[in-house]
Amino acid sequence: MTYYIAGWYDAKDRLTRMMREVEKRGHTVTSGWLQQTEPGGVGMPPLEVAKMYATRDIFDIARAQAIIYDTFDESIRQARTVEWGIAIGMRKYRILVGPGVMPGVFKTSAHETYESWDALFAKWDAVAAGVARLDAERQRNADLARRDAAAPSAPTVSLSTRAKRRAFVSNA
């Protein structure tokens, strides 16, 4: 399974440790920002750099099967809330961890909610199974949509008003 960890940039060291725990369980974390060596956090980087970070993060979310939103720290920029919204739009499996600020009314869209990372890791096998189920459902739906798009459509038959009346009278 692949996971994107969304959190406060200044909590990067702590979240990198959580990333290592996910990887120890045989999974991949796609959060490129956790390996970022350039400065981040409070204050905007130059526009071109900000665009590069945003594009990278969107692609990282797209590559993941699930997002883990860490709420332990408050952030001024709220990029993680935007990432949560992107994950909702992409129909990713969504996990909230921590007692902190939640992504508004959209917290109700979480598939799983945990008070701590320890609580999440204690239920990890069930979480991974949920991610796998949603991913399989999304794949089936995509396969059906591709099949339906490739199928020839039936010709549309339009009856005139006179033909409709004749059909109605003859069936009465």
CATH, residue 113: 3.40.50.450
Instruction: Note whether residue 64 is domain-resident.
Output: yes
pLDDT digits over 114-160, tens only?
999 999 999 998 888 888 898 888 888 888 888 888 877 656 566 56
Instruction: Note whether residue 72 is domain-resident.
Output: yes
Instruction: Note whether residue 66 is domain-resident.
Output: yes
Instruction: Note whether residue 14 is domain-resident.
Output: yes
Instruction: Note whether residue 168 is domain-resident.
Output: no
What is the residue whose two structure tokens read 């665009």? 51
- 3-class secondary structure, 5: strand
Which residue range is the domain that position 16 belongs to? 2-150
Total domains present in the chain: 1
Per-residue pLDDT of the chain (172 residues; tens, 9 = 90+): 999 999 988 899 999 999 999 999 999 999 999 998 776 655 667 888 888 888 999 999 999 999 999 988 776 667 888 899 999 999 999 999 998 766 677 777 899 999 999 999 999 988 888 888 988 888 888 888 888 888 776 565 665 666 666 655 555 5
Instruction: Note whether residue 156 is domain-resident.
Output: no
Instruction: Note whether residue 42 is domain-resident.
Output: yes
Rounded to 5 degrees, what angle do the CA atoms 102, 6, 141 make?
A: 95
**Side chain identity, residue 103:** P
- Helix, strand, coil shares, percent, the chain, to 5: 55, 10, 30
Gap between the Cα atoms of 97 and 107, Å rounded = 11
Instruction: Note whether residue 158 is domain-resident.
Output: no
